[in-house]
Amino acid sequence: MPFQQKYVITQRYLTSGSKRRSGKRINPDVKFIVAHDTGNPNSSAAGNVRYYENSRNEISASAHLFVDDREIIECIPTLIGPPEKAWHVLYGVPTDNELFGFNANDAAIGVEYCYGDRINADESYARYIWLMAFICFKFNLDPKSSVVGHFFLDPQRKTDPVTGLANSRRTYDQLLKDIAIEFDVCTGKIPPPPKFISQTGTARVAVKLNIRKGEPSTKVPVAEIVMPGSQLSYIGYVENGQSINGNAKWYKDANGNFFWSGGVIAN
C-alpha cells in the first residue's frame, strides 16, 4: 500500500558523535512519535537546524525533524537508513514508559513544529500532520494511538506543541485527529477533505438556498434558509465539496457554514 508523497524531506544531518547527535541507534525499534514545537516563534526549520549544528558540543538536546511552511528537514537519521536517537524528552519522567514501555529518547521520533506570525500556519501545519502520518506509515504505527505531545509526557516543564498550535487557533486534540485523517487520506482509505481557499466577498442569492452546518454537503443539517435577493458574505470557498449538477464549489461564511455557489451570483 503506497503513501502519498506530498512533500520533500531534506536530509541535513548534524555532526555525528556530538552532544546533539550521538550516532547511537534507536533500540529496539521506533515505537511512537513525540510532537513538539520549537518554543521560539518565527524561527525556521533551517534556522533551528543551523543553531543545533553550531551548538552541537554545548548541550545534549535535539530532535529528529523540523517542519515549517517551506521545508521539512531531517537532522538526525530517521526515514532513510537506521533511525538514530535524539535527546528530546527528559529521562526520568515516567509517562513515556507507562504509555509505550520505553523512554522516548530510546524509541521515539521527535518532530518539531515551527510557528509564528511570519510563518504561514496552514502550510506549516499541513506539513506537520503529513510528516507524522508518514512516520506512522514508515514504522507501521497506529496513527490513532502512537503520537503524544511533549507536554503530556513532561507536564511540569513543557507546554509543546499546545503553545505552537494555539498560535493558529488549533488544539492538541485536533492535531491527533488530523494526523489520523491524513494517514487515511494518504493511504487511500478516504478521499481528501475539501481544501479551503481564503477570499472574502459577497454574493446575491438567486434561488431559495439552504446554508449547511459546517460542511460543504447536503448531507449535513441546514443552519438557515435564505430567500432569493438576499445578500450573503463569505470568507472563502472550497472547490471540491459535494458536486451538485457538476458544480462542487461552495462558499464558507464567517460562522463556519457553507452555501452552494450554484445558488448565488457572486458580486
User: What percentage of the chain exceeds 90 in pLDDT?
Assistant: 93
Phi, psi dihedral angles at 76 (to 5 degrees)? -130, 130
**pLDDT for residue 80:** 87
CATH code where residue 134 lies? 3.40.80.10
Q: Where are the alpha helices (DSSP H) in 155-255?
A: 162-166, 172-186
**pLDDT for residue 4:** 96
Asked if 233 and 227 count as a contact pair (C-beta separation under 8 A), the reply is: no
**pLDDT for residue 28:** 78
Same domain (yes/no): 22, 130? yes
Distance of CA 35 to the CA centre of its chain: 10
Distance CA 131, CA 66 (A): 10
Q: Which residues contact 188 (CB under 8 A, 6 or more apart)?
A: 1, 2, 4
Judging by DSSP bridges, how do beta strands 147-149 and 222-226 pair with one another?
A: unpaired
**For residue 48, how many C-alpha atoms fall within 13 Å in the half-sphere facing its CB?**
28
**pLDDT for residue 191:** 81
Distance CA 109, CA 68 (A): 17
Asked if 141 and 78 count as a contact pair (C-beta separation under 8 A), the reply is: no
Same domain (yes/no): 211, 178? no
The structural domain count of the chain equals 2
**pLDDT for residue 81:** 83
**pLDDT tens column, 167-178:** 988 999 999 999
Determine the average pLDDT of the residues in 203-221.
95
Distance CA 42, CA 68 (A): 9
Q: Which cell is 111 given?
A: 518532530
**pLDDT tens column, 133-150:** 999 999 999 999 999 999
**pLDDT for residue 6:** 96
For 84, which DSSP code? B
Determine the average pLDDT of the residues in 225-244.
95
- pLDDT classification of 179: cutoffs 50, 70, 90: very high
**pLDDT tens column, 52-95:** 999 999 999 999 999 999 999 999 999 988 999 999 999 999 99
CATH code where residue 229 lies? 2.30.30.40
Instruction: List the one residue out of 126, 144, 109 whose CA is nearest residue 7.
Output: 126
Give domain status of residue 174, yes or no: yes
**pLDDT for residue 160:** 98
Distance CA 244, CA 242 (A): 6
208 has pLDDT over 80: yes
Full domain range(s) for residue 136: 9-186
